Amino acid sequence: MDALDERIARIEDALALVLPDAVDALWLNRVAGIDCPEARPDWADAFLEPGRDLLRRGGKRWRPLVTVLTCEALGGGRSADILAPLTEIPHNGSLIVDDIEDSSLTRRGAPAIHVVHGEDLAINMGNLMYFLPTLVLDHTDYDTATLDAIIRDWLAVMRRLHLGQGYDILWHRRTDLYPDDASYLRMCRFKTGSLSSLAARLGARGAAATHPGAASRVDEDLVEELGGAWEDLGTGFQILDDVQNLSSGIPGKDRGDDIVEGKKSLPVILHAAERPGDIPELVRLFTAAAEGAPQGDWSAVEQAIALLTESGAVERARKVGRTLLEGGRKKLEVLLPAGEGRDLMVGLVDAFREKMI
């Protein structure tokens, strides 16, 4: 087991505390906040299964790794492990809801959760996963000020996630609406960068709350700076993910399914800004892709990808993503003290960068 695998195993333990393989009456009482003997654990297990299904399929787990490694790098040891679910479980919940909103059919190499379990159970579980991880706060011994700060951070990010998703949905529902690149970047910072930022903030707060040595070097300015670095990194990852969707394709998803869903990703926005005369053609191709893909005709998708690639928009978007990653990486090297935690975190950024570019 390598260094990251060992930490991922600890993260899985924390996730299981929030969403175990089988629940009992004690778990239900904790979630409900009251004694509820009439609530059937076996019935709860049935409607919790969509969330377990997605978590079992894996995922990179890089958000909780950021929490764990930030805490370690600041001298807090394992004291933030318990906070890992506060980013990973809402992220998975957002994927369930996102796939319904986008009519996506696959996720992580298998049928999407709503396809397997039905839209009603999928929506309910996706929404529950935004709130469920707050259970971990009952298992910490943090002081009141730290708990208050964690709750404020978490609530702000839950709001931002839904703001970002709202903009994204609006843009892909309106075939005639092409936002500028600044608006797109703000949407990405809300939708993706905010959870990344939260991951780093949680790690820093966990370190400061439990280790006097860490507390002496962690102040609110450092929390903000680390959160900002990881907001940049998360936004860069999202842009490169959009680029990969149009180039080599995302493992476990169909290449170009962003076109089918009508997503106004950065390559599309950059192309439309430089060649506004192509917007009617983009509208035609997006419409044809949405109509053709369910029947197995992906020709419009390939035409759209060729158009975006030929104009250089895909490559320009790639450069924007790489710039954000490189800037965020440099900030981490400045903000965090040298040591295994920082090295593993920087290595994590480098590994993702190499896979995506």
- Over residues 111-165, the pLDDT tens digits come to 999 999 999 999 999 999 999 999 999 889 899 999 999 999 999 999 999 999 9
294 or 343: whose pLDDT is higher?
Answer: 343
In the chain, the domains with their CATH numbers are 3-19+58-101+130-356 (1.10.600.10)
d(CA 74, CA 214): 6
288 or 189: whose pLDDT is higher?
Answer: 189
- What is the structure's pLDDT at 216? 62
pLDDT at 99 over 90: yes
Full-model pTM: 0.91
d(CA 208, CA 71): 8
pLDDT at 305 over 70: yes
Q: Tens digit of pLDDT for each residue in 195-249?
A: 999 999 999 999 988 766 665 667 889 999 999 999 999 999 999 999 998 987 5
pLDDT at 96 over 60: yes
Residue 252: pLDDT band with limits 50, 70, 90 = low
Q: What is the mean pLDDT of residues 103-108?
A: 87
